[in-house]
Protein backbone atom coordinates (compact mmCIF):
# COMPACT_ATOMS: atom_id res chain seq x y z
CA UNK A 1 0.00 0.00 0.00
CA UNK A 2 2.66 2.47 1.10
CA UNK A 3 4.93 1.73 -1.85
CA UNK A 4 1.98 1.96 -4.21
CA UNK A 5 1.06 5.42 -2.95
CA UNK A 6 4.65 6.46 -3.11
CA UNK A 7 4.78 5.29 -6.72
CA UNK A 8 1.70 7.32 -7.51
CA UNK A 9 3.30 10.35 -5.88
CA UNK A 10 6.39 10.01 -8.02
CA UNK A 11 4.19 9.74 -11.09
CA UNK A 12 2.23 12.89 -10.25
CA UNK A 13 5.39 14.71 -9.28
CA UNK A 14 6.83 14.16 -12.75
CA UNK A 15 3.55 15.07 -14.40
CA UNK A 16 3.34 18.38 -12.55
CA UNK A 17 6.97 19.22 -13.08
CA UNK A 18 6.94 18.47 -16.79
CA UNK A 19 3.76 20.47 -17.27
CA UNK A 20 5.22 23.44 -15.41
CA UNK A 21 8.45 23.22 -17.39
CA UNK A 22 6.45 23.19 -20.61
CA UNK A 23 4.57 26.34 -19.62
CA UNK A 24 7.81 27.91 -18.55
CA UNK A 25 9.78 27.13 -21.69
CA UNK A 26 7.08 27.26 -24.33
CA UNK A 27 7.13 31.08 -24.79
CA UNK A 28 10.87 30.92 -25.39
CA UNK A 29 10.52 28.05 -27.82
CA UNK A 30 7.74 29.82 -29.72
CA UNK A 31 9.87 32.94 -29.94
CA UNK A 32 12.96 31.16 -31.15
CA UNK A 33 11.13 29.09 -33.72
CA UNK A 34 8.94 32.04 -34.70
CA UNK A 35 11.99 33.88 -35.96
CA UNK A 36 12.27 31.25 -38.70
CA UNK A 37 8.66 31.46 -39.81
CA UNK A 38 6.93 33.44 -42.49
CA UNK A 39 4.00 35.57 -41.36
CA UNK A 40 1.57 33.14 -42.96
CA UNK A 41 3.18 30.30 -41.07
CA UNK A 42 2.97 32.26 -37.80
CA UNK A 43 -0.75 32.74 -38.25
CA UNK A 44 -1.51 29.05 -38.50
CA UNK A 45 1.32 27.19 -36.90
CA UNK A 46 2.43 28.50 -33.52
CA UNK A 47 3.66 25.29 -31.94
CA UNK A 48 5.45 23.20 -34.52
CA UNK A 49 8.58 23.61 -36.55
CA UNK A 50 8.37 26.05 -39.45
CA UNK A 51 7.01 24.56 -42.68
CA UNK A 52 9.71 26.38 -44.50
CA UNK A 53 12.81 27.54 -42.66
CA UNK A 54 13.37 31.22 -43.33
CA UNK A 55 16.82 32.23 -42.13
CA UNK A 56 16.75 35.76 -43.55
CA UNK A 57 15.58 37.37 -40.33
CA UNK A 58 18.32 35.89 -38.21
CA UNK A 59 21.04 36.35 -40.80
CA UNK A 60 20.25 39.97 -41.62
CA UNK A 61 20.16 40.91 -37.93
CA UNK A 62 23.32 39.02 -36.99
CA UNK A 63 25.27 40.48 -39.89
CA UNK A 64 24.01 44.03 -39.29
CA UNK A 65 26.07 46.53 -37.31
CA UNK A 66 23.15 47.74 -35.21
CA UNK A 67 22.70 44.50 -33.27
CA UNK A 68 26.35 44.18 -32.31
CA UNK A 69 26.61 47.84 -31.45
CA UNK A 70 23.79 47.69 -28.95
CA UNK A 71 25.10 44.50 -27.39
CA UNK A 72 28.50 46.18 -27.17
CA UNK A 73 26.97 49.23 -25.49
CA UNK A 74 25.17 47.05 -22.97
CA UNK A 75 28.30 45.01 -22.33
CA UNK A 76 30.42 48.10 -21.75
CA UNK A 77 27.89 49.71 -19.42
CA UNK A 78 27.39 46.46 -17.49
CA UNK A 79 31.13 45.76 -17.22
CA UNK A 80 32.05 49.20 -15.90
CA UNK A 81 29.04 49.17 -13.58
CA UNK A 82 30.09 45.84 -12.09
CA UNK A 83 33.73 46.84 -11.64
CA UNK A 84 32.91 50.19 -10.07
CA UNK A 85 30.19 48.72 -7.86
CA UNK A 86 32.54 46.04 -6.55
CA UNK A 87 35.44 48.42 -6.02
CA UNK A 88 33.60 51.28 -4.35
CA UNK A 89 31.30 49.15 -2.23
CA UNK A 90 34.01 46.78 -1.04
CA UNK A 91 36.24 49.69 -0.02
CA UNK A 92 33.41 51.23 1.98
CA UNK A 93 32.40 47.88 3.46
CA UNK A 94 36.02 47.22 4.47
CA UNK A 95 36.23 50.44 6.42
CA UNK A 96 32.86 49.76 8.03
CA UNK A 97 33.79 46.21 8.97
CA UNK A 98 37.33 46.65 10.23
CA UNK A 99 37.85 50.16 11.48
CA UNK A 100 36.24 51.61 14.56
CA UNK A 101 35.37 55.25 14.65
CA UNK A 102 32.59 57.55 15.72
CA UNK A 103 29.67 57.72 13.30
CA UNK A 104 30.34 54.33 11.75
CA UNK A 105 26.91 52.97 12.52
CA UNK A 106 25.42 56.14 11.10
CA UNK A 107 27.29 55.73 7.83
CA UNK A 108 26.28 52.12 7.34
CA UNK A 109 22.64 52.99 8.03
CA UNK A 110 22.92 55.87 5.60
CA UNK A 111 24.13 53.62 2.79
CA UNK A 112 21.45 51.05 3.60
CA UNK A 113 18.85 53.72 2.86
CA UNK A 114 19.35 52.83 -0.78
CA UNK A 115 17.41 49.63 -0.15
CA UNK A 116 14.22 51.28 0.97
CA UNK A 117 12.86 52.91 -2.18
CA UNK A 118 12.83 52.22 -5.91
CA UNK A 119 15.11 54.19 -8.14
CA UNK A 120 12.20 55.58 -10.13
CA UNK A 121 11.06 57.86 -7.31
CA UNK A 122 14.13 60.05 -7.76
CA UNK A 123 14.69 59.64 -11.47
CA UNK A 124 13.78 63.19 -12.46
CA UNK A 125 16.23 64.92 -10.11
CA UNK A 126 18.85 62.33 -11.11
CA UNK A 127 18.20 63.26 -14.72
CA UNK A 128 18.73 66.94 -13.91
CA UNK A 129 21.87 66.15 -11.91
CA UNK A 130 23.28 64.13 -14.79
CA UNK A 131 22.39 66.89 -17.22
CA UNK A 132 24.06 69.54 -15.06
CA UNK A 133 27.18 67.41 -14.85
CA UNK A 134 27.22 67.28 -18.65
CA UNK A 135 26.91 63.50 -18.66
CA UNK A 136 23.62 63.29 -20.49
CA UNK A 137 23.68 61.06 -23.55
CA UNK A 138 26.86 59.27 -22.48
CA UNK A 139 27.63 55.90 -20.95
CA UNK A 140 28.52 57.59 -17.67
CA UNK A 141 25.08 59.08 -17.30
CA UNK A 142 23.83 55.50 -16.96
CA UNK A 143 26.79 53.96 -15.17
CA UNK A 144 27.18 56.39 -12.27
CA UNK A 145 23.54 56.39 -11.08
CA UNK A 146 23.48 52.62 -11.53
CA UNK A 147 26.57 52.20 -9.34
CA UNK A 148 25.10 54.59 -6.78
CA UNK A 149 21.89 52.60 -6.54
CA UNK A 150 23.81 49.34 -6.29
CA UNK A 151 25.78 50.59 -3.29
CA UNK A 152 22.92 49.98 -0.86
CA UNK A 153 22.65 46.24 -1.28
CA UNK A 154 26.34 45.78 -2.16
CA UNK A 155 27.64 47.42 1.02
CA UNK A 156 25.14 45.55 3.20
CA UNK A 157 26.12 42.18 1.71
CA UNK A 158 29.86 42.83 1.74
CA UNK A 159 29.84 44.36 5.22
CA UNK A 160 28.13 41.24 6.55
CA UNK A 161 30.66 38.96 4.92
CA UNK A 162 33.72 41.02 5.83
CA UNK A 163 32.71 41.14 9.49
CA UNK A 164 32.73 37.36 9.63
CA UNK A 165 36.23 36.91 8.28
CA UNK A 166 38.45 35.51 11.06
CA UNK A 167 39.77 38.40 13.10
CA UNK A 168 43.00 36.55 13.95
CA UNK A 169 44.18 36.96 10.37
CA UNK A 170 43.88 40.71 10.53
CA UNK A 171 45.50 40.88 13.94
CA UNK A 172 48.39 38.81 12.68
CA UNK A 173 48.75 41.02 9.62
CA UNK A 174 48.60 44.11 11.82
CA UNK A 175 51.29 42.81 14.12
CA UNK A 176 53.44 42.11 11.08
CA UNK A 177 53.15 45.76 10.15
CA UNK A 178 50.67 45.42 7.33
CA UNK A 179 48.75 48.62 6.69
CA UNK A 180 45.03 48.72 6.20
CA UNK A 181 45.27 49.42 2.49
CA UNK A 182 47.36 46.32 1.93
CA UNK A 183 45.11 44.28 4.16
CA UNK A 184 42.22 45.23 1.94
CA UNK A 185 43.89 44.18 -1.29
CA UNK A 186 45.77 41.14 -0.09
CA UNK A 187 43.59 39.70 2.64
CA UNK A 188 39.99 40.81 2.41
CA UNK A 189 39.45 40.73 -1.32
CA UNK A 190 41.02 37.32 -2.01
CA UNK A 191 39.12 35.81 0.91
CA UNK A 192 35.81 37.26 -0.23
CA UNK A 193 35.50 35.83 -3.70
CA UNK A 194 32.12 34.12 -3.12
CA UNK A 195 30.40 37.28 -1.92
CA UNK A 196 32.10 39.39 -4.58
CA UNK A 197 30.74 36.97 -7.17
CA UNK A 198 27.26 37.28 -5.68
CA UNK A 199 27.33 41.06 -5.70
CA UNK A 200 28.88 41.03 -9.17
CA UNK A 201 26.18 38.78 -10.61
CA UNK A 202 23.42 40.89 -9.04
CA UNK A 203 24.94 44.06 -10.46
CA UNK A 204 25.59 42.47 -13.84
CA UNK A 205 22.09 41.14 -14.40
CA UNK A 206 20.54 44.34 -13.06
CA UNK A 207 22.61 46.50 -15.37
CA UNK A 208 22.25 44.27 -18.42
CA UNK A 209 18.46 44.34 -18.17
CA UNK A 210 18.04 47.96 -17.05
CA UNK A 211 15.57 49.93 -19.11
CA UNK A 212 14.36 53.05 -17.31
CA UNK A 213 17.75 54.63 -16.69
CA UNK A 214 19.11 54.49 -20.27
CA UNK A 215 15.66 55.46 -21.52
CA UNK A 216 15.89 58.68 -19.57
CA UNK A 217 19.60 59.39 -20.02
CA UNK A 218 20.49 58.32 -23.56
CA UNK A 219 19.33 59.93 -26.79
CA UNK A 220 21.78 58.83 -29.48
CA UNK A 221 20.93 55.58 -31.16
CA UNK A 222 24.61 54.71 -31.39
CA UNK A 223 24.73 54.56 -27.58
CA UNK A 224 21.54 52.53 -27.09
CA UNK A 225 21.89 49.46 -24.89
CA UNK A 226 19.86 46.48 -26.08
CA UNK A 227 16.61 47.10 -24.17
CA UNK A 228 16.28 50.47 -25.91
CA UNK A 229 17.43 49.09 -29.24
CA UNK A 230 14.96 46.25 -29.16
CA UNK A 231 12.02 48.52 -28.34
CA UNK A 232 13.01 50.79 -31.18
CA UNK A 233 13.27 47.82 -33.54
CA UNK A 234 9.87 46.61 -32.44
CA UNK A 235 8.42 50.06 -33.03
CA UNK A 236 9.94 50.10 -36.48
CA UNK A 237 8.76 46.68 -37.64
CA UNK A 238 5.56 46.59 -35.65
CA UNK A 239 3.75 43.39 -36.44
CA UNK A 240 6.37 41.89 -38.72
CA UNK A 241 6.70 39.38 -35.93
CA UNK A 242 9.19 37.11 -37.68
CA UNK A 243 11.77 39.87 -37.62
CA UNK A 244 10.97 40.98 -34.08
CA UNK A 245 11.09 37.42 -32.75
CA UNK A 246 14.44 36.78 -34.39
CA UNK A 247 15.75 39.99 -32.85
CA UNK A 248 14.43 39.01 -29.42
CA UNK A 249 15.94 35.52 -29.71
CA UNK A 250 19.32 36.88 -30.65
CA UNK A 251 19.41 39.47 -27.87
CA UNK A 252 18.55 36.97 -25.20
CA UNK A 253 21.25 34.56 -26.37
CA UNK A 254 24.13 36.14 -24.38
CA UNK A 255 22.11 36.02 -21.16
CA UNK A 256 21.09 32.45 -21.94
CA UNK A 257 24.66 31.30 -22.55
CA UNK A 258 25.84 33.02 -19.39
CA UNK A 259 23.02 31.35 -17.48
CA UNK A 260 23.77 27.89 -18.88
CA UNK A 261 27.44 28.24 -17.97
CA UNK A 262 27.01 29.51 -14.44
CA UNK A 263 23.44 28.51 -13.64
CA UNK A 264 24.15 27.12 -10.19
CA UNK A 265 26.11 30.14 -9.05
CA UNK A 266 23.58 32.55 -10.49
CA UNK A 267 20.63 30.96 -8.71
CA UNK A 268 22.56 30.63 -5.47
CA UNK A 269 23.92 34.14 -5.76
CA UNK A 270 20.64 35.82 -6.54
CA UNK A 271 18.74 34.04 -3.80
CA UNK A 272 21.48 34.43 -1.20
CA UNK A 273 21.80 38.05 -2.19
CA UNK A 274 18.09 38.55 -1.77
CA UNK A 275 17.95 36.77 1.58
CA UNK A 276 20.88 38.58 3.13
CA UNK A 277 20.36 41.94 1.48
Among residue numbers 117 through 146, which ones bind other proteins (CB under 8 A)? Answer: 117-129, 144-145
Output the DSSP codes for 136-204.
TTSHHHHHHHHHHHHHHHHHHHHHHHHHHS-HHHHHHHHHTT--HHHHIIIIIHHHTHHHHHHHHHHHH
Q: Does 187 bind other proteins (CB under 8 A)?
A: no
- Nearer to other proteins by C-beta: 65 or 275? 275
| Residues of span 53-112 touching other proteins by CB under 8 A | 88-89, 91-92, 94-95, 99, 101-102, 107, 110-111
Residue 6: exposure state from Cβ atoms within 10 A (0-12, 13-18, ≥19): exposed
Q: Does 11 bind other proteins (CB under 8 A)?
A: no
Least separation in angstroms between residue 202's CB and other proteins is 11
Residues 6+ apart with CB under 8 A from 66: 229
- Find the binder of other proteins among 43, 51, 193, 265 (CB under 8 A): 43
Which of the ranges 54-62, 65-73, 191-199, 228-236 carries the binding residues for other proteins, by CB under 8 A?
A: 228-236
| Residues of span 18-37 touching other proteins by CB under 8 A | 20-21, 23-25, 27-28, 30-31, 34
| Residues of span 164-183 touching other proteins by CB under 8 A | 164, 167, 171, 174, 179-181
CA atoms within 13 A on the CB side of 219: 5
Residue 85: exposure state from Cβ atoms within 10 A (0-12, 13-18, ≥19): buried
Q: Does 261 bind other proteins (CB under 8 A)?
A: no
- Find the binder of other proteins among 16, 59, 172, 261 (CB under 8 A): 16
Q: Does 231 bind other proteins (CB under 8 A)?
A: yes
Residue 176: exposure state from Cβ atoms within 10 A (0-12, 13-18, ≥19): exposed
- Find the binder of other proteins among 212, 221, 236, 257 (CB under 8 A): 212
Residues 6+ apart with CB under 8 A from 253: none
- Nearer to other proteins by C-beta: 82 or 126? 126
Q: What is the DSSP letter of 266?
A: H
Q: Does 147 bind other proteins (CB under 8 A)?
A: yes
Q: Does 208 bind other proteins (CB under 8 A)?
A: yes
Least separation in angstroms between residue 179's CB and other proteins is 4
Which of the ranges 52-60, 61-69, 75-83, 210-218 carries the binding residues for other proteins, by CB under 8 A?
A: 210-218
Q: Does 238 bind other proteins (CB under 8 A)?
A: no
Which of the ranges 39-47, 52-60, 62-70, 192-200 carries the binding residues for other proteins, by CB under 8 A?
A: 39-47
- Find the binder of other proteins among 134, 211, 257, 265 (CB under 8 A): 211
Distance between CA 152 and CA 150 in Å, rounded?
Answer: 6
- 57-to-47, 69, 121, 161 alpha-carbon distances in Å: 19, 18, 39, 48
Distance between CA 167 and CA 181 in Å, rounded?
Answer: 16
Amino acid sequence: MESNRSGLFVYYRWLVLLLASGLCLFPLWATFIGGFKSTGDLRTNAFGLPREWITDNYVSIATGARFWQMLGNSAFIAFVTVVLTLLISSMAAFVLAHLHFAGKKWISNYLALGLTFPFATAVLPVFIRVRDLGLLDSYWGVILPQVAFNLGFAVVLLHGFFSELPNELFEAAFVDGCGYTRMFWQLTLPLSRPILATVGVLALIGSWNEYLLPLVMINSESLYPWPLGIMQYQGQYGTDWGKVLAFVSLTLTPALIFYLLAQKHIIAGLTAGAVKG
